[in-house]
Every structure is written in structure tokens, then in C-alpha cells.
Structure 1
Amino acid sequence: MIKELREQFNRDFNDEIFSSFLRRLDDRVRLKIQFRVCETPLFVPKHVQQTCEETAVELALRLHEPEYLALSDRTLHPKIEVAGQPDHASFIAVDFAMTYDTENRIKPMLVEIQGFPSLMGYQLFLAELAQEHFALSPDLEYINGGNTRPQFIDLLRRTVVAHHDPENVILMDFNPWHQKTCPDFYAIKELLGIEVIDIRHIVKQGKHLFYKNENGSLIPISRIFNRSIVDELEREQVAIPFNWNDDLYVEWAGHPNWFFRISKFSSPYLDHPLVPSSWFLHELDEYPEPLDRYVLKPLFSFAGSGVIIGPTRDDLDAIPEDKRSNYLLQERIDFAGVVDTPYGGTRAEFRVMLLWPPEDEQPRPVMGLMRMGRGDKMGVDQNTDMRWIGASCNFFPPE
């Protein structure tokens, strides 16, 4: 996307350099990464980066307005509505497709916005290693929002740990070291000094939660950095030591309710030039035509599961009446082949990660993540058997 940087990177690239990079990356996070890492970072023009950051913050703020929050109440199911919801989400990930406008200029378009944390720690380690290993200019930036590394760590600490002792803050997921996201768990553990705990191993005593440290001692939990997806645990019938709607003496960094409130459900309420049109399926009296220009999405799936690109009338009619409110029909986005690779023009998606510490007035862009692909879907699970595709980091020029 930045011609001279792209040409230089492609010219200098070879498979041996990349294989060495992957080995070093595994060493950096002390485990074998289970998703495909792309051969190249994304070089993002400054104006594109700024547009994505500003739009991400604007949309996040809109989704905290009282009118929208009242509408989003219907996303919370009584069985899994969690007590103690704070005034705002702690983490918001905003994905933009790289497209071309009518004058062949790069135009970001919103793919999805989610009130859930992404791989902030891992992306920091990835970008730092990529800059050094590929001998990229030290002037290139990879931390968003104009933040320095210490400022990013401070924002991360204020969001995750807040005012607590790190010993009393945990990162919580189901079977965490077997999740594909576990490289980020290691990075967060290193950066913040908090423990990574399996949700099944938490101990509940009255209204208090505890975890066992390596010596077997029970340590009180004051704040949870939540990486578990509530409805997935319910669907898989994972037995956990507390009920989601228990009144507990614990704070949440990444309160589970925000995963539902800020989600695909939000899209029809976002009137913005960079947001494609979308409708809840149950509200459509007639289907828009032609349907191959639309995408059917279940509201609360993760990692692209259940998405149908170019659904047929039979696909739409097959959804039962009582399930139709849980589906979205969205205008299809034409990803452009904005990245020149040895395998031709490749599509790119740019994620802006926002942090919102408890005491701050608005969220801050801090880190980016890019995904490249040549298939219909951009998720890492859908781009596994090709070259120069997958997940990587972003670099952009300084001011």
C-alpha cells in the first residue's frame, strides 16, 4: 500500500529469511504458533491509518450512547447476563476492509466492530521482531494513536490491572494454553505480570473468587481480564465454578456483556459513510437484489463461522422464524487487491484495537493487526494453504 516500501520488502524477501523469522517468533512467545503468519507486514499510508483510527473511536463512542445501549439490552440473555457491567467497554476491536473508491483511491470500509480484546501483546512482540529481523526503517511506527511503547504499556496496564496488585488480577479463558490466541496470553503475562488461569480452576467461596498459585496457595481475584466467550462455553456445556449472573466481589476488564452489546448487532444502527448497509433478517419484508451482493452473518459467531457470502433465497428462507432476529444481511464489501505480492494482488483487512481505561473519557487506538487473503473470507482459519496470506502486523510512516 506504500509503493516504495512494498517494492523494497518484496525485493529483499526470501524463504530462508522468513523461516528464520518464524522460528524466532515462536521462541519469542515460547510456543509454536498455531495460525498462519503472513510473509509480509502491511505498510499503511498515514492518511489510511488516521481515517481508520478516527472512525474506530467515533463508532465506539456512538455505541455507548444511551439510545443504543437501550436497544442493545436485547442481546443480553438472562442466563448469561453478567453483573457488574462498567460504564464502558474496556476493549474494542474494529476491522476495516481495504477497498478502492470510484477514483481508485484506498477506502477503508467497516467489516465488524467487537467489544472484546484482541492480540495486543502478541502484536507488539510481532512488530518489534519484524522491524528488527527484516531490517525495516526504525522510523516506521507500529503502535497506533501516536503512542510510544511506554505509553502503550501504561494504557494496557491501566485497562487490565487498574489500581490492583497484579497478583490479584488474572487473564481468564477456557483451556487457555490450547487456544490459538495463547501467544497473546504469554505476551500479556510478560508485560503485566498477571497469571493466566483456566476458568475451570477458579475457586469460589461465597461472593469471592480465588486461584491457586504455583505453591498451591489460594490467591484472591480482584479483577478478571476476560478472554472467554460466554455463549461458546454455554454451547459446549463447560462446567465452571460460578454462574455468570452471580453477584461477585470482582471487577472485569473486558466485561462479558460488551461482547454482545458491541457486535454485528451494532451494524444496522451505525449510519456512517464507511459502514455498509445492513438489516436484521426478521425486519426484511423483501430481500434486496441481487443477493450475491450481500453477506448473511449470524450475530454472535466468532472467527467468521456461519457466514454465507452471496446467500440464496433458499438459504435465507431456511432460517426458522424464531431464529431470524439473530441474523444480519449486510451489503457485501469488495476487498481490493491492494498488496502486491509474488502471487498477485492480495486483499487486506486492518484491525484497530482500542483500549479504554476505567477513568478515561474515551477509548484510545493503540495497536493494529492485519490479515491478508485471496479467498472469500479473511479469517486466519480460512487462509491456511496459500502463500503470502494470513495474519501479521502493520507499519506506517511517522508524521
Structure 2
Amino acid sequence: MIPSIRQKFNDSFSQEKYDAMIAEFHHEFPNQLDFRVAETPVFVPKELKIKLLHACNDIIDVLLKPDFKEKTNRAIPANQNVPNEDKHPSFLAIDFAVCKDENGDLTPQLIELQGFPSLFGYQWYLGQKYRKFFYDPKNFTQYFNRLSFASYIDEMKKVLLAGENAENVILLEIYPEKQKTRLDFEISRQLWGIEPVCLTKIKKVGKKIFYEKGGRTIEIKRIYNRLIFDDLLQNFPNLETNFKMTDEIEAKWITHPNWFFRISKFTLPLLKSNFVPQSFFLSDLKEYPADLENYVLKPLFSFAGSGVKLHFTKDDLDAISDKENYLIQRKVKYEPIIEDKVGNLIKTEIRMLFIWEDDALRPKLVTNLARLSRGEMIGVNFNKNFDWVGGSCAFFED
């Protein structure tokens, strides 16, 4: 996106340097890296940075409207409604495709948003590795709001621990040692002392919950929730546990599970911005757009792109019995703008990552995540056997 920076990076790149970086991942965290790391970060010019910030503010303004909860109550499945929901999520992730507008200028277009945490530990780690092994231009940073790699740790600690002892705060998952994101869990443990704990290992007594560590039974006071209901119900439908996520407990959720549903694909039709493609709940349409080929079909309640259809017909829509659980969104055209060593062009998506302290009026942008793709969609299944694709981070021009 910045030709001079891209040229310098590519000139300095070698497969040996990339292999050395990946080897360091494996040395420092044996058997933890379970997804592809892209060969390059994304270098974002000021003009695109300003548009991304504007787009995020447009979206956050909608989340802050007094009637937002009322409009999103239906998003929470009745059997997955968790008690003691708070007034806003603790984390927010907003995904944008990098596209071009009608004038040929780079512009972000919203793909998805989540009231749910992301790889806050891993991205801190990855950014440092890119800077260590490859060309590191001045006046570029992966952080926002004047944060550095050190002050970022402190900001995250305030949200995650909020003054509690680290041993009383857990990262909740189902079989965390088997998750593809387990490297992030381990980095989070090292940075903030938060133990990854499986749902099956939690014991409930009254409204208090506990886990065991080093032969001790420890009360859980804060839950850094990384467990997605959809994953639990689809992959472990008959799992019996002492503690169920819908139980009323004294521990505080970070983020409360209800926000995963409220701030999700369900939110897309509520948003109006130049940076948000037009979206419609399928159940609200009296007639379909004539140009269905320009839309993507998305189930409201799915994760990691499952169930998304890029190509469908009117008959396909008519065959859907639960139309209230689907939406169509106008397709965006990812612009291939990142050039690899041999001149191939690659598409990118940038996820803006926010934290939201309990008493803060607005969420605070802290860092980002990027993904590179050669396939029709962003994601592992569309990028098999390619290089210069996978997880990355963006460095923004200061």
C-alpha cells in the first residue's frame, strides 16, 4: 500500500529469515503454533488509517444508541442467555476488507464485527517478531492511542484483572490445549498470569465457581471468556459439566457471553455508513434484490465463516425455512494490493481491536490483527498450499 516501504521490505525478505522467525516461535512455545503466519506485515498509509478510524467511530456510535439492546434482544438464543449481562462488552473487534472506491482510492469496507476478544496476546508477540527479523520502518506502529509494546500490556491488565489477583482470573475455553489459538492462551498466561481452564474443570458451589491449580482449590472471580456457544453446542452437544455457562454466578464475565450475539452479524443491518456494505435480514425482505449475484448469504449464528455462501439463487433463499436467522450483505471487492517477492498481488483484511473498561464511555482502540489471502475468501480453507497468506498484523503510519 506504500510502494517505497513495500519495496524495501521485499528487498530485505528471504525465506531463510522467515524460516528463522517460525523456528523461534516453535522454540519459545513448543507445539503451540497451529496456524499459518504470513510472510509479511501490512503497512497502512495515513489516509487509509484515517478512514479506518472514521469507520470504527460510525459503528461505535450505533452500539452506543439507547435502543441498541432492545433492537438486539432477539440475537440471543433463549437457551444461551446468560444472567447478569453488563452495560457493554469488555472487548470489541471490527473487521474490514481493504478495497478501492469509485475514485481508485483505498477504502475500508466492513466485513464483520464481534463483541468478543481476539488474539490480544499473540498479536503483541507477532508484531515484535516481524520487527526483529525483517525490515522495520520508522514511524510505523501496530498500536493506537500512543501505546507501546510495554504500555499495551498494562492497558490489557487493567481490563483483564481490574485489580484482582491473577490466580482468581481464568481464560475459559473447552479443551484449551487442543484449540488452534492455544498459542495466544499461553502468551496471555505469561503476560497477565491468566490460567487457561477447560469448562469441564470448573466446579460450582452455590453461586461461586472454582478451579484447581497446584493441588489448591481457587475461587474464580473474573472469566476471560474465549468459549463460543456455537463451538460448544456443535462439537460437544452431549457434554455434561458441573458448571454451565447459563448458570447464575458471582464471577464477572469478560466479555459477557451475550455480547457475542448482540455485536455480530446480527448488527450489520442496523449500521449505516459509507464504510458498511448494505445488509438486510432475510425475513425483512418482501422481495429479493434483482442482482443477487452481488450479495453474500450469511447465517446470523455461526463462527469462523461457516455457512457463508458467496453464490446462491432465489430458489436457495426460498428454501430457507428460518429466514429470521439469515441475512444478505452486498459483496465487497477485496483489492489485491500487497505485492510479494515475485510480483503476485495479495488481498488483506484488517481487524481493529478495542478494549472497553467498565466505566469508560467508549471503547479504546489498542491494536490490530491482519489476514492475507489469495483465495476467494479470507480464511484457511480458501488459502491452502499458498505462501504469503495467513495471520499477520498491520503497522500504521504515525
TM class by shorter chain equals over 0.9
1:145 is paired with a residue whose SS is coil
1:1-399, aligned counterparts within 5 Å? 1-137=1-137, 139-213=139-213, 215-235=214-234, 236-237=236-237, 238-320=239-321, 323-341=322-340, 342=342, 344-398=344-398
Report the Cα distance in structure 2 between the residues aligned to 1:174 and 1:370, rounded to whole angstroms: 25
Which whole-Å CA distance do the structure 1 matches of 2:19 and 2:144 have between them?
A: 28
Structure 1 residues 104-131: Cα deviation after superposition (integer angstroms, max 9, x where no partner)? 1101111111111110110010001110
Local SS of the residue matching 1:11: helix
TM-score in terms of structure 1 length: 0.95
Partner SS for 1:150: helix
Q: Percent identity?
A: 37
AA of the residue aligned to 1:102 = E
Give structure 2 stretches of 5+ with no counterpart: none
CA offset digits 1:349-374 (Å, max 9, x no partner):
01100111112221111111111112
- When structure 1 is superposed on structure 2, of 20-29 and 296-305 the one drifting more is 20-29
Alpha-carbon distance, 1:19 to partner = 1.0
CA contact (8 A) 2:230 2:303 kept: no
Which range moves more in the overlay, 371-380 or 167-176? 371-380
User: What CA distance in whole angstroms lies between the structure 2 residues aligned with 1:191 and 1:343?
Assistant: 38
Query: Could you give the per-residue CA deviations for residues 115-153 of structure 1, whole angstroms, max 9, x where no partner exists?
Result: 111101100100011101114135421113332233322
Q: In 2, Cα distance between the equivalents of 1:198 and 1:57?
A: 35
Q: Tell me, what secondary structure is at the counterpart of 1:378?
A: coil
Partner deviation per Cα, 1:139-178 (whole Å, 9 max, x = no partner): 4211133322333222211111112111100001001111
CA contact (8 A) 1:162 1:358 kept: no
Instruction: Please say if residues 44 and 394 of structure 2, whose CA atoms lie closer than 8 Å, have aligned partners that are also in contact.
Output: yes
RMSD of aligned residue pairs (Cα, Å): 1.5
- Quote the offset at 1:89 in angstroms: 0.7
Aligned-partner SS, 1:357: coil
Matched positions, count:
395
- AA aligned opposite 1:193: G
User: What is the distance in 2 between the residues matched to 1:4 and 1:202?
Assistant: 53
SS at match of 2:140: coil
1:164-216: per-residue Cα shift (whole Å, max 9, x none)? 11110000100111111111111111110111101110111111100000x22
One-letter code of the match for 1:96?
F
Q: Give the Cα separation in 1 of the matches to 2:304 and 2:247.
A: 28
- Structure 1 residue 343: deviation in Å? 5.2
Greater mean alpha carbon deviation, residues 254-263 or residues 199-208: 199-208
Residue type of the partner of 2:227? Answer: S
Greater displacement, 184-193 / 243-252? 243-252
Please state how far the C-alpha of 1:260 moved relative to its aligned partner. Answer: 0.1
Distance (Å, rounded) in 1 between the aligned partners of 2:49 and 2:241? 41
Partners of 1:60 and 1:92 within 8 A in 2:
no
Q: TM-score, normalised by structure 2?
A: 0.95
Cα gap change, 1:10/1:274 in structure 2, threshold over 3 Å: closer, same or farther? Answer: same
Cα deviation 1:215-271 (Å, max 9, x = unaligned): 221100000000000232123313332233322111011110000000000000001
The 1-side partners of 2:166 and 2:32 are apart by: 27
